[in-house]
């Protein structure tokens, strides 16, 4: 990896030394502070546009949380700039629509790979290249879910560009095509639909860093509730602890 830059990053407004190597990535800036409150000694680092960054400590290790906003373009920018200031391990933390009909609202999706149903990642690699989560991050999330007692399942996510193309497909000119594709994702075993994972996985692959994701799933017509969201956040934080422990014990890299 090339030498770290000395300047503050243009979009996230963070400089080297202000964030840890381990970073949680929610979409909503309003989630950054609640996540950071689960760290020791949390402090606000920067707030600019959709990007809000806090840092603190877990088990004596500097860790951070940076919001990415909605969608793959802004998420890719956040990852690019965080890597430039020294971060190398990322967990996307968010909500998603459930694809499988047997999903219980609030169940966690531990994302192993993502369908590249978006445009951002095509500017990095041909669409034939798979968007895959790092196995060590997936393993850490699986272990964390067992520790927190969260209901979870591991599987493939659909990463899309249009929120309303999913939730109101019937009013779209491409309604039939959207429905056919949704049925295909379900038949193929995809477990959830969100808007960032595929680009994060592709960018992470190119930059030789680690990325994974955990999403709280919701069936159509339901919303998240505070107890379920708390379990999502505590599982993500516990996964960071797992990664910190593995790295200190000489975990496989990359």
Place of tokens 């602890």: 241
Residue 163 forms part of a structural domain:
yes
Residue 27 forms part of a structural domain:
yes
Which residues constitute the domain of residue 151? 22-248
Residue 123 forms part of a structural domain:
yes
Strands (E) in the chain, as ranges, are 22-26, 40-48, 51-58, 61-66, 89-98, 108-117, 131-132, 152-160, 192-194, 210-218
Residue 23 has pLDDT above 80, yes or no: yes
Residue 11 forms part of a structural domain:
no
Residue 3 forms part of a structural domain:
no
User: Which pTM does this prediction carry?
Assistant: 0.93
Residue 71 CA to residue 5 CA, distance in Å, equals: 26
Residue 223 has pLDDT above 60, yes or no: no
* Cα radius of gyration (the chain): 17
Q: Report the domain count for the chain.
A: 1
Read off the CATH number of the domain in which 150 is found. Answer: 3.40.50.1580
Residue 216 forms part of a structural domain:
yes
Place of tokens 């505070």: 226
- pLDDT tens figures, 79-137: 999 999 999 999 999 999 999 999 998 999 999 999 999 999 999 999 999 999 999 99
Residue 105 forms part of a structural domain:
yes
Residue 4 forms part of a structural domain:
no
Best CA proximity match to 211, nearest among 132, 130, 150, 119: 132
- pLDDT tens figures, 170-207: 999 999 999 999 999 999 999 999 999 999 999 999 99
């Amino acid at each position: 990896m090339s030498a770290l830059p000395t300047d503050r990053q243009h979009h996230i407004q963070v400089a080297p030394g202000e964030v840890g190597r381990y970073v949680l990535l929610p979409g909503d800036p309003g989630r950054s502070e609640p996540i950071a409150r689960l760290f020791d000694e949390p402090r606000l680092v920067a707030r600019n546009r959709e990007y809000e960054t806090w840092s603190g400590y877990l088990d004596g290790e500097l860790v951070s949380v940076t919001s990415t906003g909605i969608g793959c373009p802004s998420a890719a920018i956040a990852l690019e700039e965080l890597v430039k200031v020294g971060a190398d391990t990322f967990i996307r933390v968010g909500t998603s629509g459930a694809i499988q009909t047997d999903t219980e609202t609030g169940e966690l999706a531990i994302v192993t790979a993502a369908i590249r149903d978006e445009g951002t990642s095509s500017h990095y690699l041909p669409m034939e290249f798979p968007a895959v989560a790092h196995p060590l991050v997936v393993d850490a999330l699986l272990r964390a879910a067992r520790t927190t007692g969260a209901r979870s399942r591991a599987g493939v996510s659909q990463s899309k560009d249009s929120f309303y193309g999913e939730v109101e497909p019937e009013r779209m000119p491409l309604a039939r095509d959207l429905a056919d594709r949704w049925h295909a994702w379900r038949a193929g075993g995809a477990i959830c639909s969100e808007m960032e994972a595929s680009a994060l996985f592709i960018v992470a692959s190119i930059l030789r860093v680690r990325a994974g994701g955990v999403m709280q799933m919701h069936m159509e017509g339901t919303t998240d509730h505070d107890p379920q969201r708390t379990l999502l956040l505590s599982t993500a934080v516990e996964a960071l602890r797992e990664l910190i422990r593995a790295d200190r014990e000489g975990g496989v890299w990359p």
